Structure 1
Amino acid sequence: MLKLNRIHHVAIICSDYAKSKQFYTEVLGLTIVQEVYRAERKSYKLDLEVAAQYQIELFSFPEPAARSSRPEATGLRHLAFEVDDVAEAVQHLTNLGVAVEPIRIDECTGKQFTFFQDPDGLPLEIYQR
């Protein structure tokens, strides 16, 4: 049987590297682990740390293809981040000019959550611990 230990990383391709780098580091507060420019691919790869446990790989490529990013589209639905206080996280994001949906309650767990988007429209969620 295959033994999976944990999710190692999530990879995201962005359309505007500088804008996405600023969003993930300054707005979301993720820590840069490593940044590499791969000249042969004309591509950046930025490794970002999430709570000393997970990584997001942020890639740039020349002219990446568009992808449907609605939360109900086929494929990866969204990327969720756990927070201690959803209302506090919403206030932080809105203070930085990020549009955030109204807070909802998960009917299965009773916990608060909401959605917002990265600069490319990728659905992101914040979910109550």
Structure 2
Amino acid sequence: MLKINKVHHIAIICSDYEVSKHFYTKILGFEILAEAYRSERDSYKLDLALNGNYSIELFSFPNPPSRVSRPEACGLRHLAFEVDDIQKTRHYLVENNLNPEPLRTDEFTNKRFTFIADPDNLPIEFYEA
């Protein structure tokens, strides 16, 4: 059997690089590990970490095609981040005008969660620990 150690990173293509860079770094708190502009592709690549762990590659490309992401389209459904205090997290999201959904409870784990959308409407879930 194949041995996979962990998820290495998630790659996201954004439509507005500066808006998404601000969202992931200033709002969600990811730290920048490296940033590169690739002139041959007219593209940025931003490597982001969470708690010191390499997590997201944020790309920009000229005129990326739209992708259906809601509500139950085939493919990546959403990104989920674990949080310690879902009430505090939701309050922070409201304060930053991110329009979180009302809190829901997972019927199998009894843990609470909420969703927001990133600047390109990618669903992001916050799930209590």
Query: Which category of TM-score, normalised to the shorter sequence, fits these structures?
Result: over 0.9
What one-letter code is carried by the residue in structure 1 that aligns with 2:10?
V
Local SS of the residue matching 2:4 = coil
- Alignment CA distance shift 1:71-1:48 (3 Å): farther
2:15 maps to 15
Displacement of 1:94 in angstroms is 1.1
Local SS of the residue matching 1:40 = coil
Displacement of 1:32 in angstroms is 0.5
Q: Distance in 2 between matches of 1:38 and 1:99?
A: 34
1:71–1:123 CA contact under 8 A, matched in 2:
no
TM-score for both structures, normalised by structure 1: 0.97
TM-score for both structures, normalised by structure 2: 0.97
Q: Distance in 2 between matches of 1:101 and 1:71?
A: 14
List per-residue Cα deviations over 1:19-51 (Å, max 9, x = no partner).
000000011011001100011000000011022
1:58 maps to 58
1:7–1:54 CA contact under 8 A, matched in 2:
no
1:111–1:128 CA contact under 8 A, matched in 2:
yes
What one-letter code is carried by the residue in structure 2 that aligns with 1:74?
C
Q: Give identity over the alignment, percent.
A: 59
Q: Distance in 1 between matches of 2:67 and 2:8?
A: 23
Matches within 5 A, 1:1-129: 1-129=1-129
Structure 1 gap ranges (5+): none
Displacement of 1:96 in angstroms is 1.0
Displacement of 1:54 in angstroms is 4.0
Q: Distance in 2 between matches of 1:118 and 1:63?
A: 18
Q: How many residue pairs end up in the alignment?
A: 129
Structure 2 gap ranges (5+): none
